[in-house]
Amino acid sequence: MPDSPHETLIIGGGIAGLVLALEIAERRPVTLLQPSREALGASRWAQGGIAAVLSPDDDVEAHVADTLVAGDGLCDEAAVRFTVEQGPAAIEWLLSLGVPFTPDPDPEARYPYHLTREGGHGARRIIHADDATGRAVVETLRQHVERHPAIRLRTDLTAIGLIADVAGHCRGARCLDENGGLVELMAADTVLATGGASGLFRHTTSPDPACGEGMLMAAELGAELMNLEFQQFHPTCLFDPDGPPFLISEAVRGEGGLLLDADGRRFMPEVDPRAELAPRDVVARAIDAEMQRSGRDHVWLDVRHLGEDAIRHHFPTIHAYCASRGIDIAREPIPVVPAAHYSCGGVSTDLEGATTVPRLHAVGEVAGTGLHGANRMASNSLLECLAFARSCARRLRDASAPGDAPLTSWQPGTSPVPDAECQALLSEVRTIMSESVAIVRHDAGLAAAEERLAELAERLAPCIAEARPSVPLARLWHALRLARLTVASARARRESRGLHFNPDCPLHGDPAPQPSRLYLSDLTPASH
Ligand code: SIN
């Protein structure tokens, strides 16, 4: 039971979870479930920075307009405007906490910190800490969280499901400790900050991506999910079959990096007038097409013309990491390939992170706020984490204590399912998703994926009721059902838009497109 009946439980310790914890803890006690220090969510791997209107030469309308263009007709304009307007104050707040953003050395600069450019942005508006912004922000926030007396950090627990009362309100989370023991954390309010679902795919830009666990936990309580078909593939992950995933930031193209085909020729200018700085969906699709055409397993990203000093100055992390993998980026082009990076959809929320389930909120990549529409613009994600975690905190600070309805019953099974079997099945899910639901999706591939995933669910469902809870099993079961919902969304969208490209319906369809909205009960049978 909570130490206080007014406890807020935050699941996930990336930037969204850390910001929320700090912003709420002045008024309410907080328990923050954070992965181990090494993991710290996808935020830690974000290189580029945070998009915000900071330069006197930029303005809110321009940032809103660029976001709407990248979102390809599906952004919720109110969410876009809200997010963009929160940007400057959120950056001021981070500066007040001591985040070491990179200063602009130019004495004539119109803003004291260096602002870089990325795809889709018509202005320099990305504030950054060298090329390791996520790490710098996470580490600063984490130091404040560790010192805060009202925040209880739990790094020993993994949430495997949410707890509901008979009125359908969320009342906390069911967790497993490091020995597999069940721990029920009760809370007045629960916030998911669990990250996205890139882990449904085989190749990703971060080493240990979430598989949509938070999305599915919310769906189990009846929450609405939206826009799952819009999975973003970052155009430039280092092609390194023997190494862990490593992102090559879009800021590299922002500062002048060029994409080259196997013959050393630029191919982006023929695809889009914005060339290397077109939105990510356009660039990732062009690279995919180029790889299909040439039969090669990567393209090249060339920065040699920027000069060694500029490369080392702007991209010290990328320069050093590539050197450690045997690539001197000042002297040779970088082999790159698109990889799953960011989920533009998630648990539907309002502008304060409230989901459709009472007393359950969602912030960060797990949430579908309407900001990204059909394609997220670079560096809008950390901005979204900040804007929505802070607005969610403002709402929860003043929330009243919940009523006293009894909890729904839950009985764990006792049969063990070997971890290796869970991992093998999760790997099968990833293969299916990567083969048929990636950058290009055909009708036939989607139908086959739907069938193969349904078969897996059919096989697994009987064991689930009997199974002893384990983290790998929970992860698999969440991932499998989220993959099925993703395929259902992709099949339902009879058009190509943003990140969803289906050559069997290659054009925009509806002139007034709607987000896709669905529930776990839309799967047949509804239980699996
Ligand atoms: C990057 O630096 O390219 C990644 C940041 C983002 O996804 O916005």
pLDDT digits (tens, 9 = 90+) for 232-290: 999 999 999 999 999 999 999 999 999 999 999 999 999 999 999 999 999 999 999 99
379 lines ligand 1 (CB under 6 A): yes
CB of 194 shorter than 6 A to ligand 1: no
The per-residue pLDDT for 172 is: 97
**Highest mean predicted confidence (pLDDT) among 5-14, 30-39, 104-113, 398-407:** 104-113
Q: Residue 291's pLDDT is what?
A: 97
* Model pLDDT, residue 40: 54
| Residue 384 Cα to ligand 1 middle (Å) | 13
Phi, psi of 98 (to 5 degrees): 100, 20
Residues 293-312, mean pLDDT to the nearest whole number = 97
Nearest to 33 by CA among 143, 135, 145: 145
Task: Sort residue 284 into left (φ over 0), alpha (ψ -120 to 50) or beta.
Answer: alpha
Q: What average pLDDT does the chain have?
A: 95
Taking the centre of ligand 1 as the mean of its atom positions, its distance from the CA of residue 528, in whole angstroms, is 34
Q: What pLDDT score was predicted for residue 390?
A: 98
- Asked whether 212 and 478 are in contact (CB, 8 A), the reply is yes
Q: How far does Cα 166 stand from its chain's mean position?
A: 31
* Separation of alpha carbons 501 and 482, rounded Å: 20
Q: Residue 511's pLDDT is what?
A: 85
For ligand 1, say whether the CB of 349 is within 6 Å of any of its atoms.
no
Q: Output the six-digit token pair for 358.
A: 């009472």
Return d(Cα 62, Cα 84) in angstroms, integer: 10
* Mean pLDDT to the nearest integer, 490-511: 96
- CB neighbour list of residue 147: distance below 8 Å, 6 or more residues apart: none
**Predicted pLDDT of residue 230:** 98
Residue 250 CA: nearest ligand 1 atom is 3
Which single residue is written with the structure tokens 């002048």? 256
3 state DSSP class of 367: strand
Give yes or no for a contact between 344 and 376, defined as CB atoms under 8 angstroms apart: yes
Q: Which of 438-442, 458-462, 474-478 has the lowest mean pLDDT?
A: 458-462
**Inter-CA distances, 520 with 349, 370, 429, 430, Å:** 16, 20, 18, 20
176 lines ligand 1 (CB under 6 A): no
- 236-338, which class in CATH? alpha beta
List helix spans (H) across 267-340. Answer: 268-271, 280-294, 308-314, 316-324
pLDDT more than 70, % of the chain: 97
Q: How far out from the chain centre does Cα 20 lie?
A: 17
Q: What is the pLDDT of residues 58-115, one digit of tens each?
A: 999 999 999 999 999 999 999 999 999 999 999 999 999 999 999 999 999 999 999 9
**Mean predicted confidence (pLDDT) in 171-195:** 96
What is the per-residue pLDDT for 207? Answer: 85
- Res 3 pLDDT > 60: no
Give residue 4's pLDDT band: very low, low, confident or very high (50, 70, 90). Answer: low
Local structure of 180: helix, strand or coil? coil
What is the best residue among 205, 250, 315 to mutate for testing ligand 1's pocket, by most ligand atoms within 8 Å of CB?
A: 250
Please identify, by atom number, the ligand 1 atom nearest to the C-alpha of residue 377.
8
Q: Answer whether residue 387 shows pLDDT above 80.
A: yes
* Residue of the CA atom closest to atom 8 of ligand 1: 379
pLDDT at 112: 97
d(CA 292, CA 188) in angstroms, rounded, equals 52
Residue 240 CA: distances (Å) to CA of 252, 276, 469 = 18, 22, 35
Q: What percent of the chain has pLDDT over 90?
A: 92
Residues 295-312, mean pLDDT to the nearest whole number: 97
Segment 323-369, tens digit of pLDDT:
999 999 999 999 999 999 999 999 999 999 999 999 999 999 999 99
Q: What is the mean pLDDT of residues 295-304?
A: 97
Asked whether residue 481 carries a pLDDT value surpassing 70, the answer given is yes
Please give the DSSP secondary-structure letter assigned to residue 240.
-
With a CB cutoff of 8 Å and minimum separation 6, the contacts of 258 are 266, 268, 276, 301, 302, 303, 305
Taking the C-alpha atoms of residue 292 and residue 135, their distance in angstroms, rounded to an integer, is 35
Three-class DSSP labels, 41-102: CHHHHCCCCEECCCCCCCCHHHHHHHHHHHCCCCCCHHHHHHHHHHHHHHHHHHHHHCCCCC
Burial of 525 (0-12, 13-18, 19+ CB in 10 A): exposed
* Residue 1 confidence (pLDDT): 40
CB atoms under 10 Å from CB of 324, counted, come to: 10
- What does the alpha-carbon distance between residue 1 and residue 480 come to, in Å, rounded to a whole number? 31
Please list, residue by residue across 30-51, b when 16 or more beta carbons sit within 10 angstroms of its beta carbon and e when fewer do: bbbbbbeeebbbbbbbbbbbbb
Q: How far apart are CA 54 and CA 502, in angstroms?
A: 38
Asked whether 236 lines ligand 1 (CB < 6 A), one says no
> Does residue 249 have its Cβ closer than 6 Å to ligand 1?
yes
Question: What is the atom index within ligand 1 of the atom nearest the CA of 48?
Answer: 2
CB 116 within 8 A of CB 251: yes
Contact in structure between 59 and 85 (CB atoms under 8 Å): no
- Report the nearest-CA residue for atom 5 of ligand 1: 48
- State both tokens at 159: 């949430």
Query: Given phi > 0 = left and psi -120 to 50 = alpha, else beta, which region is 192?
Result: beta
> Distance, CA 392 to ligand 1 centroid (Å)?
24
Show me where the domains of the chain are located: 236-338, 419-527
Check whether 218 has a pLDDT greater than 50: yes
Token code pair at residue 360 = 């359950």
In short, whether 46's Cβ falls inside 6 Å of ligand 1 is yes
CB of 378 within 6 A of ligand 1: the answer is yes
- Topology classification of domain 419-527: Methane Monooxygenase Hydroxylase; Chain G, domain 1 (1.20.58)
In tens, the pLDDT along 136-170 reads 999 999 999 999 999 999 999 999 999 999 999 99
Q: Is residue 2 very low, low, confident or very high in pLDDT (cuts 50, 70, 90)?
A: very low
Question: What's the helix, strand, coil split of the chain in %, to 5?
Answer: 40, 15, 45
Q: How far is 318 from 238, CA to CA, in rounded Å?
A: 10
Section 34-54 average pLDDT = 76
Q: Is the pLDDT of residue 29 over 90?
A: yes
Catalytic site residue 280? Answer: yes
Cα–ligand 1 centroid distance for 477 (angstroms) = 29
Asked if residue 372 lies in contact with residue 75, where contact means CB atoms within 8 angstroms, the answer is yes
Catalytic residue among 280, 285, 430, 497: 280
